[in-house]
Amino acid sequence: MSGVSGKVVAITGASSGIGEATALELAARGAAVVLGARRTDRLTALAERIRASDGRAEVVPTDVTRRADLERLVATAVERFDRLDVLVGNAGIARTASMTELDVDDWDAMIDVNVRGVLHGIAAALPVFRRQGRGHFVTIVSTSGLKIVPTQAVYAGTKNAVRTLMEALRQESTDGVLRTTSISPGVVSTGLADYIDDPEVREQARRQLQMLGIEPDAVARAVAFAIEQPDDVEIGDITVRPTRQN
Instruction: List C-alpha distances in Å: 208 to 7, 22, 188, 246.
Output: 36, 23, 9, 12
Catalytic residues: 155
List the Cα angle 40/46/49 in 5-degree steps.
Answer: 145
* Burial grade of 97 (CB within 10 A; 0-12, 13-18, 19 or more): buried
- How many other CB atoms are found less than 10 A from the CB of residue 53? 10
Q: Measuring CA to CA, which residue among 88, 71, 113, 72 is closest to residue 33? A: 88
The residues near 52 (Cβ < 8 Å, ≥ 6 apart) are: none
Task: Kindly provide the residue ranges of all beta strands, DSSP E only, lying in 19-157, ordered along the sequence.
Answer: 32-37, 56-61, 86-89, 135-140
In our burial notation (b when 16+ CB lie closer than 10 A, e otherwise), range 8-36 reads bbbbbbbbbbbbbbbbbbbbebebbbbbb
